[in-house]
């Protein structure tokens, strides 16, 4: 029997599953941060929803914790890295609320199109205002979908039934896959220029915070209406409020906010804006599914069995020889995603050297985990990564050879117009990048990386260094490499102490002799 702490409301069926398995379920709802630190010692499992913050301090106090279960999808409130370091499994219920979230998106879409909440409030206040609340039809309108994961795909299916034309922005979905769904893939600016409605279904990450901002909204038609039931902070609330107030767009329907819970937002005073208090997953069915799913995952973890929805445990599946390469593979996948700025039709993963004599399938999963982690609307695990690749039309091809020319072991990725390779170096087995787009380099991984391809001519290093200096960016390390078999182009690989501002990046791109610039954020 294990002690399981439940700090937020869980469906009764989930609690029953845990108790019938013989465990001691301790319900302590509404704990403060300090109270949680006092209660968590001695607990083998901690089950939460979105309000409880599972910090490094909580994990330190919970020395007996085997598993943390999130009854839902998002893991913004769990320090997954700290849990992994302590050997605590983190599990979620990734499919529990996708139908509810898609249906709530459609509810907001219809409410915004037909002004349902505004007309309801006016009529109950004694005002018959038919002409004031005239709406628009969905039929024949263009819906722009930002993010074609599971929820985005469900919204697309439902929008097609309303006779809408669908365009989408998702660089991690293949064109053929989108075409099969009746969707035209476009870039983000084009989507905003043509859309009458926009729905958002992407994960919250450094790349997507503030994705819908004043600059993007400047491209919109005055008829545009925006729906966000994904994550708060993806839409700049002040910029959206200004655009609605000034009549530059027609309205918005918002379910999520940068700070939650909240009763104050610049959007709240606008008649053309519909708001709900993060109700996307708030259905009886979704909560029931989440409760049962997380209970089942926690039971598996406590029993030491395979846990399908574990988001941070793979080492048990890897041999002692392969295990040190897991971080390298995941970082290569993430860096490749930034280089490619989308998804190729095929991804070739090659393993060279001694490592090729072992089962490396877990490394391929690590590559995919890194590739998709910052770009889909759900946490990516070693279990769902292959499914995400299939859904997005990515063919993964794995090859192995025990012969390595320059390194004892080498892992390389190649797809589209890009390639990257890495190895483990030195007695500390430090992950390093040793090739980018067929240019030999040698730099460690860092949160902020910059790859600059340029004409191989005198003075180019100074040009780049001067540009970074003007932007106040300090260079950590730098490596230079020439393209194989030619001296016409060279590549600089740099680690930076700070991210490169967009303006500085744009100036570099426009500099004579600079052929291509790629900034990589591995945060």
Active site (annotated) includes residue 104: no
CB 184 within 8 A of CB 201: no
Q: Residue 449 is encoded by which pair of tokens?
A: 């990386």
Q: Which of 70, 150, 165, 231 does the annotation list as catalytic?
A: 231
H-helix or E-strand containing 152?
A: helix 150-161
DSSP 349: E
Interacting residues of 125 by C-beta distance below 8 A, sequence separation 6+: none
Beta bridge pairs of residue 388: none
Peptide bond into 261 cis (omega under 30): yes
Q: Which residue has the tokens 């605590």?
A: 88
Pairwise CA distance, residues 73 & 230, whole Å: 11
CB 96 within 8 A of CB 293: yes
Q: Which of 23, 70, 278, 331 does the annotation list as catalytic?
A: 278
In order, the DSSP letters of 66-130 are -EEEESSS--TTB-HHHHHHTT-EEEE-TTSSHHHHHHHHHHHHHHHHHTHHHHHHHHHTT---T
H-helix or E-strand containing 439?
A: strand 439-444
Active site (annotated) includes residue 378: no
Q: How would you label 441-476 residue by residue, b for 16+ Cβ within 10 Å and e otherwise?
A: bebebbebbbbbbbebeeebeebbeebbeebebeee
DSSP 384: T
Q: Which of 27, 60, 129, 260 does the annotation list as catalytic?
A: 260
Interacting residues of 261 by C-beta distance below 8 A, sequence separation 6+: 277
Instruction: Specify the pairing of strand 430-436 against strand 439-444.
Output: antiparallel
Active site (annotated) includes residue 278: yes
Name the residues annotated as catalytic. Answer: 231, 260, 278
């Amino acid at each position: 029997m294990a002690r399981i702490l439940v700090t937020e409301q869980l469906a009764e069926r989930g609690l029953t599953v845990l108790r019938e398995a013989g465990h001691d379920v301790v319900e302590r709802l509404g704990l403060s941060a300090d109270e949680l630190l006092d209660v968590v010692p001695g607990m083998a499992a901690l089950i939460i929803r979105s309000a409880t913050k599972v910090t490094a301090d909580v994990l330190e106090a919970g020395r007996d914790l085997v598993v943390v279960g999130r009854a839902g999808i998002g893991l913004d409130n769990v320090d997954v890295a700290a849990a992994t370091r302590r050997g605590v499994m983190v599990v979620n219920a990734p499919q529990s609320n996708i139908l509810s979230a898609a249906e709530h998106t459609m509810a907001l879409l219809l409410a915004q199109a037909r002004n349902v909440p505004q007309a309801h409030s006016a009529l109950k206040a004694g005002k018959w205002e038919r002409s004031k609340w005239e709406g628009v039809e969905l039929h024949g309108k263009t819906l722009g979908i930002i993010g074609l994961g599971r929820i985005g795909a469900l919204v697309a299916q439902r929008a097609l039934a309303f006779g809408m034309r669908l365009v989408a922005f998702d660089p991690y979905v293949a064109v053929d896959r989108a075409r099969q769904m009746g969707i035209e893939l476009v870039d983000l600016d084009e989507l905003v220029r043509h859309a009458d409605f926009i729905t958002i279904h992407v994960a919250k990450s450094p790349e997507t915070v503030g994705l819908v901002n004043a600059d993007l909204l400047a491209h919109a038609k005055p008829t545009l209406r925006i729906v966000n039931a994904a994550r708060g902070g993806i839409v700049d609330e002040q910029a959206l409020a200004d655009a609605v107030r000034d009549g530059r767009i027609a309205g918005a329907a918002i379910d999520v906010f940068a700070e939650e819970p909240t009763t104050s937002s610049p959007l709240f005073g606008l008649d053309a804006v519909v708001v709900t208090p993060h109700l996307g997953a708030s259905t009886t069915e979704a909560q029931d599914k989440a409760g049962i799913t997380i209970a089942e995952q926690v039971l598996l973890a406590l029993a030491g069995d395979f846990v399908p929805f574990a988001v941070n445990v793979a080492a048990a599946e890897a041999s002692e020889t392969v295990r040190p390469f897991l971080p390298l593979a995941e970082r290569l996948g993430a860096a490749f995603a930034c280089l490619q700025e989308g998804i190729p039709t095929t991804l070739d993963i090659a393993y060279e050297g001694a490592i090729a004599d072992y089962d490396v399938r877990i490394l391929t999963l690590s590559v995919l985990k890194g590739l998709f982690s910052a770009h889909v609307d759900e946490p990516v695990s070693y279990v769902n990564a292959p499914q995400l690749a299939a859904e997005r039309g990515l063919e993964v091809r794995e090859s192995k050879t025990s012969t390595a020319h320059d390194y004892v072991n080498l892992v390389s990725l190649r797809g589209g117009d890009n390639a990257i390779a890495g190895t483990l170096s030195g007695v500390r087995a430090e992950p390093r990048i040793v090739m980018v787009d067929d240019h030999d380099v040698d730099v460690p991984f860092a949160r902020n990386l910059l790859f600059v391809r340029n004409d191989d001519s005198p003075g180019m290093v100074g040009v780049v260094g001067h540009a970074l200096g003007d932007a106040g960016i300090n260079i950590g390390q730098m490596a230079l490499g020439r393209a194989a078999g030619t001296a016409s182009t060279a590549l600089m690989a740099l680690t930076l102490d700070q991210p490169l501002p967009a303006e500085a990046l744009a100036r570099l791109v426009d500099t004579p002799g600079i052929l291509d610039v790629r900034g990589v954020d591995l945060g």
